[in-house]
Every structure is written in C-alpha cells, then in structure tokens.
Chains A and B, each alone.
Chain A
C-alpha cells in the first residue's frame, strides 16, 4: 500500500494561467474525491468519481474547474484562468467500495500571484 500521491506538491502560478494537478489513488480503491482547503478551514468537497464516472460536483466547482479520471485510475484537476481566490490546498482522497473511510494524499498547495 503506497498511499495516495499527489503532484506537484506546490505550484505557484500567475493569475490567468491554467494549472493541472494529478492524483494517484490507492490502487484497489474505486472511489476518488477532490477537496479544497483554505487556511484555518476544514476541507470542502469539490467532486467525486466512482471508477471513471464523475458522480457528484459541488457548486464550488465553477466552469473554470474540470476533473477527469480516465480509465478509473489516476485523476487530474484542471483550473483554467486562475484567480487569486483559487489559492488553497487541493486535497485528493480515495476509498474502497467496502468502507466509508477516506485516505488522503499530502495535497497540492496552489498559490496564485
């Protein structure tokens, strides 16, 4: 069990640029989640995949955000035309169909200047 991995760990970008983050879940987990966390707050749900199907999206996920999980393995989260308000920690988690516990990766910290 290698755990959930996320890349990059840190990303600094200029306002208006596009960024893409990658998440590799625990290999046998079919469920994958993206959350966003700002300083001093708890994580907020963004979107959820079961295998390759995106089953739920938060209203926080504006049309500048898109997530994919091709072939039901790794997932990518893309933010287009970044804004300063997008600065946050982006967390990925996975879980198996057998349990409700979610296993989190270390996160990608995005700073938009």
Chain B
C-alpha cells in the first residue's frame, strides 16, 4: 500500500514558471526522497532530505520537510520543457531499507 499522498496529481505550467508539488506521509521516517520518472522509464533520484533537516537545495530544486505535519514539498524553479515527467516522493521508514512511494505528480511544462 502507498505510504502517502501527493498533491496535485497533475500540474501543467508554462516554461519558466515555478512548480510546487506536495507530499504527505503517515509514519515516522528516517529520510524522504524525491524521484523523477520520464514516461515508461526508470526512476531517477533527485534529492534526499533527512528527518532532522528542514530544507535542502540542489540546483533548481528546493525541498522542505515538516515532520510535525508529516509533509514535504518539492519546488522546481525556472521550469524547462525537459522537466516534464512524473515526480514521486518516497519515504524510508526507521529501521527499514525499502522505500515507500506516493502516487506521484504528473508535471507538464508547456513551451
């Protein structure tokens, strides 16, 4: 079963705009990760944030984590057509190695 939910399920924006995706989860975690998946392909790791961190940056990506609300957000700034993909949050539960994924957000960047 899925750990949590992602919001929105689909997002369509113009190139150059910022895109924000949210993820909620249910149990205590060790870390939370974001992955990108282009249509019909494997997943690519984007960024990891540990449970004791509140914010992390990587290039045009910014991730926040609020463990009190059990939620995370992924911000992609200055979006490009190549950012069109599905984005998944995944949680690593304390003491476990497996990842538990959300249902994903389908992001479309319009030129």
Contacts and interface: CB of A to CB of B under 8 A. Distances in A.
A65 interface: no
Interface in A19-58: 31, 33, 35, 40-45, 48, 50, 55-56
Interface residues of A, number: 27
Question: What's the interface size class on B, roughly?
Answer: 20 to 34
Nearest to B1: A44
Interface in B24-38: 30-31, 33, 35
Most buried by A among B35, B43, B88, B104: B43
A67 interface: no
A48 B104 contact: no
A102 B45 contact: yes
Contacts of A106: 41-42
6 contacts: A31-B97, A33-B99, A41-B104, A42-B104, A48-B98, A100-B48
Interface of B: 1-2, 30-31, 33, 35, 40-45, 48, 88, 90, 92, 96-104
Interface of A: 4, 31, 33, 35, 40-45, 48, 50, 55-56, 89, 91, 93, 95, 100-107, 109
